[in-house]
Amino acid sequence: MFFPAAIFDCDDTLLDSMWMWRRLVPEVLARYTDEDMTDFCARHETTPMVVGMSEFVEEHGPQVTVDELCEDMIASAQRHYETDIHAFPGAAAFVEQCRDAGIRLAVASCTEPAPLRAGLDANGLTGYFDVIVSAGEGFTGKDEPAIFFATAERLGASPAETVVFEDSPRAAATAKAAGFPVVGVAWTPEQADALASVADLVITGGWPSVTLDQVQEALV
């Protein structure tokens, strides 16, 4: 019998979108500081936007509010999600396998609700999911397990019954420590090595390289 529930990350798990965030966030912040924000952006990849922008305003004190920064980011991101962010090859087919097997499905993402839904809608993925959760709903991000617990609860499943699919080693480690089986989705050898230390299974060949049966066998 297949696991009854699954939670999928969105950015760089289902959608090829982190390239956009890694370009967009520094571009927006560069309007307000000349400092190199590479480390800052990397540190906040698994936190809600409002948390990162609040820290930025506190540290740099630009003549802009947190709300204005977030509105700028969200509007720019939403345009990208609607037009030039695409699902990874095979992602929809794998999610469809899960759906056809009767698995209850959710997305849990650090992306704000509007661009998150825009990206899923644009790629025809929204209808597969019973639950869509954004850290922008008041969660602290994926360095804490609250978003995973809340999403599993909305699916009507316990952590042990809910497989988490994640590309971020930090988020994967959070889910694993909270009692969730974890499948890592790696796109580089370095990412695969980092995920291997926390995940029960690591997908290294993209979504076409794995079947639901193989995932189930690895998690038994």
pLDDT in tens, 128-143: 999 999 998 999 889 9
Beta bridge pairs of residue 105 = 6
Contact at 8 Å (CB) between 11 and 4? no
Please tell me the predicted confidence (pLDDT) of residue 38: 85
0.85 exceeded by pTM: yes
DSSP structure string for 132-187: EEEGGGT---TTSTHHHHHHHHHHT--GGGEEEEES-HHHHHHHHHTT--EEEE-S
Q: What is the CA radius of gyration of the chain?
A: 17
Per-residue confidence (pLDDT) for residue 40, from 0 to 100:
87
